[in-house]
Amino acid sequence: MISREWAIELVERHLLGEEAERSLPPMVVISVERHALGWLIICQSPQFARTRDLRDALVGHGPFLVDALDGSLHMVHRQFCSDGLEWEDQYREKVRGEIPPRELDVEVRRLIGLGRRLDAFKAVRHAGGGLSPADALRFVDAIGSGVEPPADLMSRLPQPDTRYLAITTYSRPNPEPANWSRAQNTSSG
């Protein structure tokens, strides 16, 4: 588990590098929030940090996320979550490789569980891909048996959009050094 202090250190190091490399305006950490995925760290201009006046705020960026598991650093762009996936879902899929169940599979399982097999069949037929009644039945049978539907059927169904616009990755894992503390780091430097 990455500590709050290490997460802040990673973001501040990134900010210093960005300012130097791209001549960006300075930014400072103004808020740190524990999140199920790690630490959300909000940064703003030093002027905004002092005044809290929106006229002093920098716009066009979201909070940083430092992954709790490995310390990797990411930017969250909430405004790009128009595809039905929340940024957390995009993060889990893009960064952690956690593939969520397909909506059609979930719906077919739900309908079968309710004893509505015909409605499950209809849902598959209406999902697109031009599956024949026999193919739709094979799909329903596979889901109902708890197995992956045949690849030939899956390839014909509409595929989800896999653009992950809500997440920008800045660094891969940054494990926290053993016995590291912010106080030690700043007092020895």
Q: Which pLDDT score, from 0 to 100, does residue 48 have?
A: 94
Structural domain spans, the chain: 4-98+164-188, 103-154
Please, which pLDDT band fits residue 164 given cuts at 50, 70 and 90? confident
User: Bridge partners of 33?
Assistant: 40
Q: Which pLDDT score, from 0 to 100, does residue 139 have?
A: 94
Q: Mean per-residue pLDDT for 64-69?
A: 95
Q: Cite the beta strand spans of 51-153 per DSSP E.
A: 64-67, 73-76
Q: Mean per-residue pLDDT for 40-57?
A: 94
Q: Are strands 73-76 and 64-67 parallel, antiparallel or unpaired?
A: antiparallel
Please state, in angstroms and rounded to a whole number, the distance separating the CA atoms of residues 1 and 66: 11
Confidence check: pLDDT of 186 > 90 = no
pTM above 0.75, yes or no: no
126, containing H or E segment: helix 117-126
